[in-house]
Chains A and B, each alone.
Chain A
Amino acid sequence: MSFPLLSLTIWLPILAGFLIIALGDGPARKLAAATSVLTMLVSLPLYFGFDSSTAAMQFTETVAWLPSFDINYAIGVDGISMPLIILTTLINVIVVISAWDVIKDRPAMYLGAFSIMTGLMIGVFSALDAILFYIFFEATLIPMFLIIGIWGGPRRVYATVKFFLYTFLGSVFMLIALIYMYQQGGTFSILAMHELPLNKDQQFWIFLAFLAAFAVKIPMWPVHTWLPDAHVEAPTAGSAVLAAIMLKMGGYGFLRFSLPVTPDASGFMDTFMIVISLVAIVYIGFVALAQRDMKKLIAYSSISHMGFVTLGIFIAFRLIAKGDDAGVALGLEGAIIQMVSHGFISAAMFLCVGVMYDRIHSREIADYGGVINTMPIFAAFMVFFAMANAGLPGTSGFVGEFMVILASFKANFWIAFLAASTLILGAAYTLWMVKRVIMGPIGNDKVAALTDINPREFWMLAILAIFVLLIGVWPNVIGSVMHASIENLVQHISTSKY
């Protein structure tokens, strides 16, 4: 057996998180910083040692765990999950930096919870056993529940209970579907479920169960309402992790479960899925335009961007009908790049709001104005990330959206037309916010008293900016590792199961 690199990436932050909590507030910051950097370093070989020529799972480990139920501790990564794992470990480093001297109340618990959550989220992306996946998927709720509830804003209790119950309700249906498939196929292995023959009715109901879990998580309109509440009330790093990684579990779930397990039902439901994706893109874009709270605005912008992910995923079935396999791959890869890119951009946007919030303790757009005069360096970052959020070419925000729009064009002009409207809407709500907050004359005395970002905040934003640019100018940095896995996925979804 080779070195259990993936297990180490999962369990190192989890165990270290418990240690951080146990040792108390004294060494918490240094320990958390060391853990996050170490976890990131440990995860890097997953990227550099990755064999991008194969779709097979890599770095696999399988240990019998509950033989009576045929549940295995089976983990591994492919080109779809690996970029998300790297994203998770990177964001964890940023989280520790962002919390360094901002969190005064019980920092050990705060940093420990984030560390544990990081391990659990990596577990979600690497699980190859359905029950293991479910356990990680659900277990992430607990630290996030505590993070929002303990360190959140005034309406934190409402927001965190809503967040927990919404996502819990979605995922229990998935549990029933997984148990049902176990009864059919006799195994909880996800890869075996991909091959499990299911008739049309079975697929339909299983698809709906998965949809309940993943549509809430990603979130899709109309089950998105927990997200703005959770984002607004969560502490800065909580919002960043929620937007950057937790939402991606939904998109990942569609790619790992819905598409390959129920390809026929996904094809059957594609119009429905495309329509609600477009509603998310267009309608939620307008909703974002009307927001007065910066965090809420970014939350709605996240939902709108996630609409692109689901659009890219489900446009595939239109293209399969046309026999355009290259277009299918384009849409799916666009969706994944959009997920990774949005991970960096949304985290950066929330951290930017956090930087201002730490100084003025307000998230209202109206309380700001002319921040550029007192915080020029910060303003440069904020404008850059806002541009990326609006999809400016050269930034990562452009790549994924462009690929999805291109794939939609191949399917249907009007779908592409509506999707492309986000280039205008996204620019409108993001840049209008920037105009009101950053530009113009100094709005009030508080803004006049602002001090520019310190080196800690500078590097926190600079690291994110580097990745946004990197993916923007060289998308192949993640594109190249996923081609084989995407081809394999295309194979799966274009083959009927009955």
Chain B
Amino acid sequence: MDNLQIATPEIFLLAATCAVLVVGLFTKPKSNAVYWLSQLTLVITLMMAVSQIGGETKTGFSGAYTVDALSASLKSWLLVVAVGIFLYSRDYVGARKIQRHEYFVLGLFAVSGMMIMVSATHMLTVYLGLELLALSQYAMVALHRDNGRAAEAAMKYFVLGALASGMLLYGMSMVYGATGSLDLNVIADILAGNGDAMTAERTIGARFGLTFLIVGIAFKLGAVPFHMWVPDVYEGAPTSVTMFISTAPKIAAFAMLIRLLVGGLETLSADWQQMLAIMAALSMVVGNLIAIAQTNIKRMLAYSTISHVGFLLMGLVGATSEGYSAAMFYAITYAFTTLAAFGVLLAVSREGHEADELKDLAGLGKRNALLATVMMIAMISLAGVPPAVGFYAKLSVLQAAVGAGFTWLAILAVIMSVIGAFYYLRIIKLMFFDDATDETEVKPAGDVSAALAVNGVAVLVLGIAPGFIMSACIAAFA
């Protein structure tokens, strides 16, 4: 019974999702019932997840599933982001030939997958959660079935995603061969030299497996050189799905990274630190430089994501608990900021018109000052300019990197963030300095406007008072 108790949020979410799926069959396509039921499901799950915060660490299902400070707070943030995603995408999905109930049900399944990833302390659980997330996402990218680019993106995503999953599984099997266990806590014990003595050969086996694990994780995060899918999928997918892919799953992927590398293979940190440092450097350079050349906002934000993944990894290269908290803070605040940016893009889009070219934002400051201001705050935050929250995220990962002796990486990072500032500023320039090419009135629904305003203010206020997220992040690795 204890086993089931620690997984109540997930169990509820899964049961409710199945119920929503059934309800969806009997509602009219134009009805918003599925949307409201999905939101209700998420909010109840959120309350359950929040109630786990502050509780003691509990492990169940023979060590396969863990609820601790890390999982409780990551799940809560994940669900908050998911509520925002559903709200922002409601009208966008409604105005297009996207089956609305499929969209929300797949979204809910993806959320359960992410929650499982966050709590998984067994390689098979990790894999199960990851695949649940990934399969839902492949289908979501393809939801716009009359759109050739969406189909192409889904195909690319699926093939490359399957390859990455294969890499991950192969790595897991190598680690299993070396240590004889799939339970991450047991693996950590064995690698640390407790119990069975580790021979040199077996350590090499574990290292070999580690390399493949990192390839799999890097693919899911979109770190260079495993980033090729990111721009194409971001561009091809319906904007609401792009928003989904670029926000909450980053939090889940971060959790997976922590569970595998820190929870399971921390003894091998000397090996993965180097790999992460190289990927961090490459991601920041490639992401920021190529983003400058983009004219499509979704592609630009794709490269921007890649660069931010580089920053996130920079927090981990030191293999210190400060660094892990810094990266966790980065993942959470990044998800929030990107959510606001995509929320604005969705609000500017309308039936028969996708706002995905840079020029679509021209003159937004005059067309809808609220949306333009929210977008500006998001861009300032992504650029890492104080007082927006992105500054603290950058400050904390820089601090972790400098503290761990990776000063060269920190210097590279700040130079790249200046280059990055250029394309974020370009968005502000378009919105406020240029005249509109498209004078159509932009009028999102009242609740969407209100949510976007709250989201924008949160990015700013969290920048002025980041204390409480920061202390949650520190508590997760205390």
Given known contacts A66-B470, A176-B407, A161 and B425 CB-to-CB distance under 8 angstroms: yes
Q: Are A142 and B399 in contact (CB under 8 A)?
A: no
The residues of A that contact B386 with a CB separation of less than 8 Å are 134-135, 138-139
Contact of B407 among A131, A138, A180 (CB under 8 A): A180
> Which B389-432 residues sit within 8 Å CB-CB of chain A?
391-392, 395-396, 398-399, 402-403, 407, 410-411, 414-415, 417-418, 421-422, 425-426, 428-429, 432
List the one stretch of A166-174, A236-244, A253-261, A299-307 in contact with chain B: A166-174
Give the most central of B387, B432, B433, B470: most A CB within 10 Å.
Answer: B433
Given known contacts A139-B386, A168-B385, A180 and B402 CB-to-CB distance under 8 angstroms: yes
Q: Please list 29 pairs of residues, one from A and one from B, whose beta carbons are closer than 8 Å in the complex, sorted by A's number.
A: A66-B466, A68-B474, A69-B396, A69-B399, A134-B386, A141-B385, A142-B380, A145-B425, A146-B428, A146-B432, A150-B432, A150-B433, A157-B429, A157-B433, A160-B429, A161-B425, A165-B421, A165-B422, A165-B425, A175-B395, A176-B398, A176-B402, A176-B407, A176-B411, A176-B414, A179-B398, A179-B402, A179-B410, A182-B399
Majority SS at the chain B contact face: helix
Given known contacts A67-B467, A131-B395, A172-B415, A138 and B385 CB-to-CB distance under 8 angstroms: yes
Given known contacts A65-B467, A135-B387, A157-B429, A164 and B410 CB-to-CB distance under 8 angstroms: no
Given known contacts A145-B428, A157-B433, A164 and B421 CB-to-CB distance under 8 angstroms: yes
Please tell me if B57 contacts chain A, counting CB pairs below 8 Å. Answer: no
Please tell me if B471 contacts chain A, counting CB pairs below 8 Å. Answer: yes
Please tell me if A183 contacts chain B, counting CB pairs below 8 Å. Answer: yes
How far does the Cβ of B184 sit from chain A's closest Cβ, in whole Å? Answer: 27
How far does the Cβ of A164 sit from chain B's closest Cβ, in whole Å? Answer: 6
Q: Are A165 and B428 in contact (CB under 8 A)?
A: no
Please tell me if A248 contacts chain B, counting CB pairs below 8 Å. Answer: no
Complex alpha-carbon distance, A244 and B144, angstroms: 56
Encoded as 1 (CB less than 8 Å from any B CB) or 0, chain A from 169 to 196 comes to: 1001101100110110000000000000
Please tell me if A472 contacts chain B, counting CB pairs below 8 Å. Answer: no
Given known contacts A138-B386, A183-B402, A175 and B433 CB-to-CB distance under 8 angstroms: no
Complex alpha-carbon distance, A146 and B377, angstroms: 13
- Return the chain B residue nearest A137 by Cβ: B386
Complex alpha-carbon distance, A207 and B403, angstroms: 20
- Return the chain A residue nearest B402 by Cβ: A179
Q: Are B398 and A175 in contact (CB under 8 A)?
A: yes
Please tell me if A156 contacts chain B, counting CB pairs below 8 Å. Answer: yes
**Chain B contact patch, size range:** 20 to 34
The residues of A that contact B432 with a CB separation of less than 8 Å are 146, 149-150
Complex alpha-carbon distance, A219 and B385, angstroms: 21
The residues of A that contact B470 with a CB separation of less than 8 Å are 66, 68-69
How far does the Cβ of A206 sit from chain B's closest Cβ, in whole Å? Answer: 12
Shortest 7 CB-CB contacts between residues of A and residues of B: A172-B414, A135-B386, A149-B433, A169-B418, A179-B402, A138-B386, A179-B399
Complex alpha-carbon distance, A139 and B463, angstroms: 12
The residues of A that contact B474 with a CB separation of less than 8 Å are 68
The residues of B that contact A161 with a CB separation of less than 8 Å are 422, 425-426, 429
Complex alpha-carbon distance, A216 and B466, angstroms: 30
The residues of B that contact A165 with a CB separation of less than 8 Å are 418, 421-422, 425
Q: Are A168 and B398 in contact (CB under 8 A)?
A: no
How far does the Cβ of B292 sit from chain A's closest Cβ, in whole Å? Answer: 12
How far does the Cβ of A112 sit from chain B's closest Cβ, in whole Å? Answer: 12
- Return the chain B residue nearest A209 by Cβ: B411
How far does the Cβ of B410 sit from chain A's closest Cβ, in whole Å? Answer: 6
How far does the Cβ of B368 sit from chain A's closest Cβ, in whole Å? Answer: 14
Given known contacts A138-B385, A145-B428, A149-B432, A168 and B421 CB-to-CB distance under 8 angstroms: yes
How far does the Cβ of B333 sit from chain A's closest Cβ, in whole Å? Answer: 14
How far does the Cβ of A149 sit from chain B's closest Cβ, in whole Å? Answer: 4
Complex alpha-carbon distance, A227 and B19, angstroms: 63
Complex alpha-carbon distance, A68 and B466, angstroms: 11
- Inter-chain pairs besides A138-B391, A161-B425, A172-B415, 9 sampled, C-beta below 8 Å: A68-B467, A68-B471, A69-B470, A139-B387, A165-B422, A173-B411, A176-B407, A179-B399, A183-B399
The residues of A that contact B433 with a CB separation of less than 8 Å are 149-150, 156-157, 160
Q: Are B425 and A164 in contact (CB under 8 A)?
A: yes
The residues of B that contact A172 with a CB separation of less than 8 Å are 414-415, 417-418
The residues of A that contact B391 with a CB separation of less than 8 Å are 135, 138
- Return the chain A residue nearest B463 by Cβ: A135
- Return the chain B residue nearest A177 by Cβ: B402
> Which B450-478 residues sit within 8 Å CB-CB of chain A?
466-467, 470-471, 474
Complex alpha-carbon distance, A230 and B145, angstroms: 50
How far does the Cβ of B256 sit from chain A's closest Cβ, in whole Å? Answer: 25
The residues of A that contact B380 with a CB separation of less than 8 Å are 142
How far does the Cβ of A18 sit from chain B's closest Cβ, in whole Å? Answer: 10
Complex alpha-carbon distance, A173 and B418, angstroms: 11
The residues of A that contact B399 with a CB separation of less than 8 Å are 69, 179, 182-183
Complex alpha-carbon distance, A112 and B417, angstroms: 28
The residues of B that contact A164 with a CB separation of less than 8 Å are 421, 425
The residues of B that contact A176 with a CB separation of less than 8 Å are 398, 402, 407, 410-411, 414
How far does the Cβ of B238 sit from chain A's closest Cβ, in whole Å? Answer: 32
Complex alpha-carbon distance, A145 and B379, angstroms: 13
> Which A127-145 residues sit within 8 Å CB-CB of chain B?
131, 134-135, 138-139, 141-142, 145
The residues of A that contact B428 with a CB separation of less than 8 Å are 145-146, 149
How far does the Cβ of A39 sit from chain B's closest Cβ, in whole Å? Answer: 20
> Which A198-221 residues sit within 8 Å CB-CB of chain B?
none
How far does the Cβ of A237 sit from chain B's closest Cβ, in whole Å? Answer: 18
Encoded as 1 (CB less than 8 Å from any B CB) or 0, chain A from 99 to 141 comes to: 0000000000000000000000000000000010011001101
Q: Are A168 and B429 in contact (CB under 8 A)?
A: no
How far does the Cβ of B417 sit from chain A's closest Cβ, in whole Å? Answer: 7
Complex alpha-carbon distance, A156 and B380, angstroms: 19
Complex alpha-carbon distance, A175 and B474, angstroms: 22
Encoded as 1 (CB less than 8 Å from any B CB) or 0, chain A from 275 to 303 comes to: 00000000000000000000000000000
Encoded as 1 (CB less than 8 Å from any B CB) or 0, chain A from 79 to 113 comes to: 00000000000000000000000000000000000
The residues of B that contact A173 with a CB separation of less than 8 Å are 411, 414
Contact of B385 among A65, A66, A142, A150 (CB under 8 A): A142
How far does the Cβ of A473 sit from chain B's closest Cβ, in whole Å? Answer: 41
Complex alpha-carbon distance, A69 and B474, angstroms: 11
Q: Are A168 and B418 in contact (CB under 8 A)?
A: yes
Complex alpha-carbon distance, A387 and B415, angstroms: 43
Complex alpha-carbon distance, A38 and B417, angstroms: 38
Q: Are A66 and B467 in contact (CB under 8 A)?
A: yes
How far does the Cβ of A244 sit from chain B's closest Cβ, in whole Å? Answer: 23
The residues of A that contact B392 with a CB separation of less than 8 Å are 66
The residues of B that contact A182 with a CB separation of less than 8 Å are 399
Encoded as 1 (CB less than 8 Å from any B CB) or 0, chain A from 44 to 75 comes to: 00000000000000000000011111000000
The residues of A that contact B415 with a CB separation of less than 8 Å are 169, 172
Complex alpha-carbon distance, A135 and B418, angstroms: 16
Complex alpha-carbon distance, A146 and B372, angstroms: 13
- Return the chain B residue nearest A132 by Cβ: B386
Complex alpha-carbon distance, A182 and B398, angstroms: 12
How far does the Cβ of A494 sit from chain B's closest Cβ, in whole Å? Answer: 30
- Return the chain A residue nearest B417 by Cβ: A172
> Which B285-320 residues sit within 8 Å CB-CB of chain A?
none
Q: Are B395 and A179 in contact (CB under 8 A)?
A: yes
Complex alpha-carbon distance, A172 and B391, angstroms: 11
- Return the chain A residue nearest B429 by Cβ: A157
How far does the Cβ of B401 sit from chain A's closest Cβ, in whole Å? Answer: 9
